[in-house]
Amino acid sequence: MAKKATIEMKERARKLRELIDYHRKLYHEKDKPEISDEAYDSLLNELLEIEAEFPKLQTLDSPTVRIGGAPIEKFKKVNHAVPQWSFDNVFNEEELHDWQEKIERILAKQDIKNNLSFCAEHKIDGLKVIITYKNGQFQIGATRGDGVVGEDVTHNLKTIEDVPLRLTKNIDLIAVGEVWLPEKELKRINDERSKKGEMLFANSRNAAAGSLRQLDPKIVRQRNLKFFAYDIDLFDSQNEKIKNPTTQTEELELLKTLGFVVNSNYKECRNLKEVIDYYNYWHDKKSRLEYGVDGLAIKVNEIKIQEVLGYTAKAPRFAVAFKFKAEEATTVVEDIILQVGRTGVITPVAKLRPTLVAGSTVSRATLHNEDEIKRLDVRIGDTVVIQKAGDVIPDIVNVIKELRTGKEKTFVFPKKIPECGGDGSIERIPGEAAYRCVYKNSGRILERKLQYFASKHAFNIVGLGKKIIEKLMSENIISSYADIFTLEKGDLTGLEGFGEKSIDNLLNSIKAARTVTLSRFLISLSIPQVGEETAEDLAKHFGTLEKIKEARFEDLEKIDGVGPVVADSVVRWFADSQNKKILQDLLKEVTVLNEDKKQKEKGKLEEKTFVLTGTLENLSRDEAKEKIKKLGGKVSNSVSSKTSYVVAGSEPGEKINKAKELNVQILREREFLKMVS
């Protein structure tokens, strides 16, 4: 039976918690310690002893929580309440101005006149995490993952001193920030790993990511990770008297008020000239910082304008990463190889002598196509200058011809390569600088097509990843899309890596994937030039697969976002006899939901336009939008005479006044939920 703590012991524990937290903030946030590290550790050890003797005295926000508990077996998956986006990149002033002009065109279409201001922040080279608080208490922390699903790293985030376990206000909040590792810590960790004969971390970002994915939180605590908060995804002030921030800079100030550590290197800029000046200032001084920074995050400052601009399929329109100039290094081209993509296009790649550039070791660089090889006059054995811009594969900038010895070999595109299957023939793509396989279903191409077919963008067959597909192909179990859906337990039993549970899980995933939307079906087919957005455009325009199969070039070309190149590719693909057989076999196994059928089944909000304002209690804004769209409705960012309803959450903005002015019906959350249920 657990011992019962005395009143004096309870009070001692409470005072210790307050005192330790006070000194922690002085040390980590203000860099003004009042006591020695030894004295601080002594206070912490006393609290640990008290809580070990009386476990009920440990609170959720006790400093001892940061010590780290027992190791976990594996990371759980977390569905993000708010989708997590990546920024588009710009690399020079011209691209930055192009971005602003694009924004202004969008605003002009909405009849919004605004002198844009911007918030420029350091783009920290770390690991993005999303932390959820309920009533001011830390609940769960997750990695970004694919933007929809991340990994639960709560146990590790709690060990980071900069992450508040309790906010200064009892509010609900989803905060976004960056976990990073100081350069001096990277050196210390690598020194220790070197002594143990372990592989060294290439840079601080890799070390931060590797540390946060440790299964033992005690190891994480020893790494001394840091955290900067920089964004608010969801904010509910509850009964606290806190105003919703109206600008990005106000958002950063609110984060500081709530107890987060916010990077002080941000600036409100009245125009792009001030943004560029700030960029130039830090470009020359970034090496003096204790954290890695690869550019500036530039955001439209006014949150109302951010909401109007919204998002593309991949990134916010209101923000962009202004990357610092790419770092360069020299190395030697050891070979030039050819890689075959899922559509059969062949890309030449330079195998390099491994070298460190932009903080990471690289051993290859893209050469794009034959014309680029000729333009650079790059040869096997050449010394070259490579540059790495962002997290992409490096480019060869130029060849240092003065270092040639005469032994360098000129690369000539072959007429055949084994990866193309059949007789291995390759051909130049008409009107392009690229080559492709003549035989479109070689083993390598088919392997990549099958991987893409099962990916989350297409059929989303959980558990059917790259290695499983490689295994099933090597065993001659699958060789087409349709083969996936004919798999039975006996086909997999006895295969290395397949236990009874994993077999059942995979077969259940395949069964669940037999019904697919038209747009996802089009994505899955690997039709050249047809990506996610084009597939959605085709599905919405034609409604059924039959109509798309029968579409003429002229019909396709007229669709906004398609154009002649895509139109030609679609017509050719559906006319090909091999592809007709692929479709025939596949359609015997799966059901494709027609776009028009979905509208008839779920179209009660068809021709209705909604505008959302304020914070909804039971739904995120993205969830509300999804419900409207599924029922055939549209979502707009601004109120006009064409608006059917304005959905008002807590602390709504000016859209409410506009709705009243135009006599647009205003729905409270309860009314809206009834409408979409």
Q: Record the tokens describing residue 285, joined without a space.
A: 């001084």
**CA dist., res. 435 & res. 507, Å (int):** 38
Active-site option among 3, 25, 74, 123: 123
Give the chain's length.
677
**CA dist., res. 400 & res. 300, Å (int):** 42
Note whether 525 and 584 are within 8 A (CB): no
What CATH number has the domain spanning 7-67?
A: 1.10.287.610
> Inter-axis angle of helices 7-28 and 37-53, to 10 degrees?
150
Phi, psi of 606 (to 5 degrees): -60, 140
The closest of 294, 285, 326 to 126, measured between CA atoms, is 294
pLDDT tens digits, one per residue of 14-61: 888 888 888 877 765 555 667 776 677 678 778 878 887 888 888 777
Domain 602-676: which CATH number of 3.30.565.10, 3.40.50.10190, 3.30.310.50, 3.40.50.300 = 3.40.50.10190
**CA dist., res. 306 & res. 317, Å (int):** 8
Cα–Cα distances in Å, from 576 out to 557, 569, 580, 581, 592?
19, 11, 6, 9, 21
Please name the residue that has the structure tokens 């439209």.
Answer: 300
Domain 327-418: which CATH number of 3.40.50.1000, 3.40.50.720, 3.90.1300.10, 2.40.50.140 = 2.40.50.140
Coil, helix or strand at residue 465? coil
**CA dist., res. 122 & res. 294, Å (int):** 8
Superfamily name with CATH number, domain 96-323 = DNA ligase/mRNA capping enzyme (3.30.470.30)
Note whether 519 and 535 are within 8 A (CB): yes
Name which residue leads in pLDDT, 60 or 580.
580
Check residue 600 and give its pLDDT: 45
Average pLDDT over residues 74-93: 87
Q: Confidence band (pLDDT; 50, 70, 90) for 601?
A: very low
Neighbour tally for 207: CB within 10 Å: 23
Check residue 135 and give its pLDDT: 93
The closest of 55, 256, 257 to 266, measured between CA atoms, is 256
Please name the residue that has the structure tokens 């549209």.
Answer: 634
**CA dist., res. 334 & res. 325, Å (int):** 26
Check residue 72 and give its pLDDT: 60
CA 72, 73, 74, 77 dihedral sign is negative
Phi, psi of 242 (to 5 degrees): -125, 130
The residue type of 660 is: K
Residue 15 among the catalytic residues: no
Check residue 253 and give its pLDDT: 96
Residue spans of the domains in the chain: they are: 7-67, 96-323, 327-418, 443-597, 602-676
**CA dist., res. 634 & res. 625, Å (int):** 8
**CA dist., res. 388 & res. 396, Å (int):** 9
* pLDDT for residue 387 is more than 90: no
Average pLDDT over residues 69-91: 81
DSSP secondary structure letters along 215-240: S-HHHHHHTT-EEEEEEEEEEE-TTS
**CA dist., res. 620 & res. 350, Å (int):** 46
* pLDDT for residue 148 is more than 90: no
Distance of CA 375 to the CA centre of its chain: 35
Tell me the whole-structure pTM to 2 decimals.
0.54
Please name the residue that has the structure tokens 């000539």.
Answer: 412
Check residue 28 and give its pLDDT: 52
Coil, helix or strand at residue 92? coil
Fold match between domain 7-67 and domain 443-597:
no
Topology (CATH level 3) of domain 443-597: DNA polymerase; domain 1 (1.10.150)
pLDDT tens digits, one per residue of 396-453: 988 998 888 999 999 988 888 877 776 778 888 877 778 888 776 666 777 888 888 9
**CA dist., res. 433 & res. 523, Å (int):** 25
- DSSP β-ladder status, 360-366 and 345-357: antiparallel
pLDDT tens digits, one per residue of 511-554: 999 999 998 899 888 888 887 778 878 888 888 999 999 888 88
CA angle 586, 588, 591 (to 5 degrees): 85
Q: Which residues of 490-511 are buried (b: 16+ CB within 10 A; e: fewer)?
A: ebbeeeeebeeeebeebbebbe
Average pLDDT over residues 264-287: 92
The backbone region for 614, taken as left when phi is positive above 0, alpha when psi lies in -120 to 50, beta otherwise, is: left
Note whether 355 and 329 are within 8 A (CB): yes
**CA dist., res. 401 & res. 313, Å (int):** 43
Q: What is the overall mean pLDDT for the chain?
A: 85
Coil, helix or strand at residue 650? strand
CA 324, 326, 328, 331 dihedral sign is positive
